[in-house]
Amino acid sequence: MAAAACRSVKGLVAVITGGASGLGLATAERLVGLGASAVLLDIPSSNGEEQAKKLGSSCAFAPTDVTSEKDVQAALALAKEKFGRVDVAVNCAGIAVAIKTYNAKRNQAHTLEDFQRVINVNLVGTFNVIRLAAGEMGQNEPDQGGQRGVIINTASVAAYEGQVGQAAYSASKGGIVGMTLPIARDLAPMGLFGTPLLTSLPEKVRNFLASQVPFPNRLGHPAEYAHLVQSIIENPFINGEVIRLDGAIRMQP
């Protein structure tokens, strides 16, 4: 039996949330460098426009609040208008707060507004992009393996080992882990082979965490995340999976 062919990144069109910086920007740089096109989705106050110009004619910027249906629809429309279709969605947008559930010293409870804000951006925002991008990908002609698109989400080691003050952040990332498999199952009949989930160190991590990473003994680089995105796109048999990209770190309280 012949081996399945790996999918080439060249010629694909990706929409990347949080694309103006960090993991999102590193992913865009790698994909564009490999011959793909990318639309960077980020908040209007970001430097997304500047970053897109640096990446050239194969990149565009769409000012986007990921929790807004209208904004995400506009970004997907831009991708189709400029590049013809949407093949890949990478969710990197996220926020974090460091607040205890109850601070006894201050006699102060975690504000519900802060908890809801983190859940809304990290979890609801990710789902908002997934559900709308899936509709666009479903219009693509399937490749020889029946695949129409790839969706990649970003969680965190905090989904499993949240630290003190990370109740909201951990809940949001745990939600992404929890919805990975059912979404993959939902989308399988459409040929949307994906919703693999990548776990990475939080962007706002303290320097001391680097010493807790067994090997390599450092924090991860955005380029390493981007490399894994490439591998997931190219390998058609990764589906509905959680992949830890964390140097084997296990978070302490």
Tell me what percent of the chain is helix, strand and coil, each rounded to the nearest 5. 40, 15, 45
Sequential DSSP letters for 150-186: EEEEE--GGGTS--TT-HHHHHHHHHHHHHHHHHHHH
The third-level CATH classification (topology) of the domain covering 13-234 is: Rossmann fold (3.40.50)
- DSSP run (H or E) holding 116: helix 112-119
What tens-digit pLDDT sequence spans the chain (253 residues)? Answer: 445 567 899 999 999 999 999 999 999 999 999 999 999 999 999 999 999 999 999 999 999 999 999 999 999 999 999 999 999 999 999 999 999 999 999 999 999 999 999 999 999 999 999 999 999 999 999 988 889 999 999 999 899 999 999 999 999 999 999 999 999 999 988 866 544 455 554 555 546 667 777 777 777 788 888 999 999 999 988 888 888 888 777 777 7
State residue 221's pLDDT score.
Answer: 83
- Please name the residues in contact with 174: beta carbons below 8 A apart, sequence gap of 6 or more: 155, 159, 160
State residue 236's pLDDT score.
Answer: 86
169 is catalytic: yes
